[in-house]
Every structure is written in structure tokens, then in C-alpha cells.
Homo-oligomer: A and B are copies of this chain.
């Protein structure tokens, strides 16, 4: 009989669902050292917490996150609530000796993130931030191929995260489902929400970003607030673009926007090296495009690898060749990796410290956009 790992979930929104599903599903497909238990879900609204608990099989509900953090029954505090809650909860959880998982971005700004990182490291508790796209099997394979040296010296990296859901001027801001449009809650707009994913993956694959020159824009200047009904200035960035130089000498373009008509969640990256190149996009997340330089010129071309074979990362746990997996599997993989790491008393990547590095870059981006100067990213 396996030991239990009791989860206390803070939040019940979109990310509450992906995390809950991850804990529920991981043990069916992975051989884990602990059995994760959906112990408690916490939300300020008791009724909504109850509904969520019923849907997912949580054993109990709380309306005050402090009760979760302090509960003897809880092993892991998983923070899936809006960004303005991360800092306080994570630090309290760490101080209470809980393992801490946190939705990205870590804090709303580097200061929050530094304090959160210090807290989990002082407490010595396993921790992780949910930059889930590292665990898309195609992305993990890209990492493997790069680490095997198959691309050689890297020259270029380019990446975008394109959405179109805020184009309408009639879309309100603020309130429950719309806190991502309120900088006081979210910290920033697409820079922290979307571009942070691009940056996390990019630095995982291609090393440290040294310096950036950035450009941000807020296309719609005022929006009605969903609670007050009044027009208020929009405080977030709608679009965020930057050029970067990596420590390895390669050059990059980054772009995130919610104004790219026709794209729902088109996260893409491409990396070009001396010996090969790789391309990936989230709209067909089960494929990886690979160009391998070869002297046999007449057969050179981009290969589309359908990432569904048992020798692809994570895929031996799922189905048979040709049968693709989807978005939520990335969270299942991350939950499985975390629980496996916990079995050895460790954190799983990306840790709070890894996520802090990303926050330093998003901070440099926002700073450069304001100062109109090249800005070096702080490193850890």
C-alpha cells in the first residue's frame, strides 16, 4: 500500500482544474512513489468550493487558505489562485513546512519572487512552478536533441505567443474571470502571462538571456470594469515584443500578444544551429519539426516527427504510435515528475529559483519598454 501525498489546492479556476486532473490521472499512467490524494480545495466562495470538490472528489473544502497551510493533513500546498495571492500563500506554506507548488508566474514582480524563493529554500521544502510547456513531449524531445549536441552552435531563436481574445473593445476588465486584464492582480499583461512561458522554455533550451530591447503596447486604452461598470484605464500590456542576445551568442526575437486575429494560443518556437534546427507549435503540440544538416543535399528537408512513439518522452505511458495526447497531459507529466522527485526528497524543475530567473527577464523587458534602452537581465 502506497503512502499518501495529501494535496491542498488553493483556487478552483482554469488552473485548479488542470492541476486537479493531473493529480487524479497521474497514478493511472505512471508508477509513483506516493499516491496523491485530493484532500482539500480552498476558495473564498464556499458554494463554489463545494461544487468544485464534488466535481473532482476533494475530501473537504476550506474558504481560508491559512487553514489549508496550517492543516496537519496537508503535505503539499498547490497555489492555483490569481497572481496577487502567490506571494503570501507560498511564504506561509513554506514556513509551515509544506511542499509548495505554484502556478506561473511566480510573483507579480522580482521582489515578490525573490522572497518566495528565499522562503522555500530556507524551509528546504520541495517546490516547483507550473511552467507546463516543458513537459509537452515534443518540447522535452527538443531539449534532449539539443543536449545531445545535434544542433551544434546555436545562431538563432525565435518565439511567439499569439492570441486574439481581447481584440473587442467591448470586453470588460477586472473581476473573477478577467483578473488577467488587471495589472494590480496579475502584475503585467501578456509579458507575465504569455511571454513568461516563451522565456522559461527558451532559457531551458538555449541558456541565459543576457540583454533585451523591448516594445510594449496597450491597444485599447480604456475598458469598462466588470464590477463597477465604469470605464477605467487599461493597466496591462496588450502586446510585448523584444530582441535578445543569449549568453551563448545567439540572437532572438520574442513576441506575445492578444491581438493577433486568427490565433487562439499559438505558442511557437524555432531554434537554428550549425548542424540542425527545430520548430514546434502549440496548435499541433504532438509534432516536432526537425531539420538535420547532411551532406546528402538532394534529400535535405524538414521532417515532421509525430510524437506518439514509446521512445518519445513520456509517451510509453500513454497509447500506441499514431495516437496523440493533448494539453492537459503536460500537467499530468509535471505532477508525476514532482511526485517522483518528492520520493527522493527533491524539488522538480522548474523550481522557484528557475522561475525567478524568468521573472528577472520579464522585468528587464518591462523596464526596457519603459526606458527605450537595452537592459541586462539580472541573473541568479
In chain A, residues 289-343, which have Cβ atoms closer than 8 Å to a Cβ of chain B? Answer: 290-293, 297-306, 308-309, 311-312, 318-329
Closest-by-CB residue of B relative to A374 is B372
| Interface of A (DSSP majority class) | mixed
A301 to B220, CA, bound (A): 25
A214 to B329, CA, bound (A): 39
Residues A155 and B322 in contact, CB atoms below 8 Å apart: no
Question: A215 within 8 Å of B by Cβ?
Answer: yes
Question: A63 within 8 Å of B by Cβ?
Answer: no
Residues A261 and B239 in contact, CB atoms below 8 Å apart: no
In chain A, residues 153-176, which have Cβ atoms closer than 8 Å to a Cβ of chain B? Answer: 155-156, 158, 160, 162-165, 167
Question: A255 within 8 Å of B by Cβ?
Answer: yes
Write out the residue numbers on chain B whose beta carbons fall within 8 Å of the beta carbon of A253.
241, 243, 253, 255
A359–chain B nearest beta-carbon distance, Å = 22
A257-B155 contact given A325-B327, A327-B324, CB 8 Å threshold: yes
A303-B299 contact given A243-B242, A255-B253, A323-B326, CB 8 Å threshold: yes
Residues B312 and A301 in contact, CB atoms below 8 Å apart: no
State the oligomeric state as a number of copies.
4
> Using a Cβ–Cβ cut-off of 8 Å, how many residues does chain A contribute to the interface with B?
89
A189–chain B nearest beta-carbon distance, Å = 14
Closest-by-CB residue of B relative to A18 is B319
Residues A28 and B56 in contact, CB atoms below 8 Å apart: yes
Question: A6 within 8 Å of B by Cβ?
Answer: no
Closest-by-CB residue of B relative to A25 is B25
A369 to B31, CA, bound (A): 47
A320-B14 contact given A259-B156, A276-B262, A304-B304, CB 8 Å threshold: yes
Write out the residue numbers on chain B whose beta carbons fall within 8 Å of the beta carbon of A163.
322
Choose from B164, B243, B301 the contact partner of A215 (Cβ within 8 Å).
B243
Question: A49 within 8 Å of B by Cβ?
Answer: no
Question: A251 within 8 Å of B by Cβ?
Answer: yes
Closest-by-CB residue of B relative to A238 is B155
A141 to B297, CA, bound (A): 13
A198–chain B nearest beta-carbon distance, Å = 13
A272-B261 contact given A160-B158, A306-B301, A320-B14, CB 8 Å threshold: yes
Residues B297 and A309 in contact, CB atoms below 8 Å apart: yes
Write out the residue numbers on chain B whose beta carbons fall within 8 Å of the beta carbon of A298.
141, 305, 309, 311-312
A100 to B269, CA, bound (A): 43
A14–chain B nearest beta-carbon distance, Å = 7
Give the segment of A40-48, A102-110, A224-232, A277-285 that binds chain B.
A277-285
Residues A304 and B306 in contact, CB atoms below 8 Å apart: no
Residues A304 and B305 in contact, CB atoms below 8 Å apart: no
- What would be 24 A-B contacts, judged by CB atoms less than 8 Å apart? A14-B319, A20-B28, A28-B57, A156-B259, A163-B322, A213-B213, A213-B215, A215-B245, A242-B243, A243-B253, A261-B272, A262-B277, A283-B324, A285-B324, A286-B324, A298-B311, A298-B312, A299-B303, A301-B304, A302-B303, A304-B304, A319-B327, A324-B327, A325-B327
Chain A residues with a Cβ under 8 A of chain B: 14, 18, 20-21, 24-25, 27-28, 55-57, 141, 151, 155-156, 158, 160, 162-165, 167, 213-215, 217, 219, 239, 241-243, 245, 249, 251, 253, 255, 257, 259-266, 272-277, 282-286, 290-293, 297-306, 308-309, 311-312, 318-329, 372-374
In the A-B complex, list the 7 residue pairs whose CB atoms are closest, starting with the nearest.
Answer: A265-B322, A264-B322, A262-B291, A326-B326, A323-B327, A301-B305, A264-B321
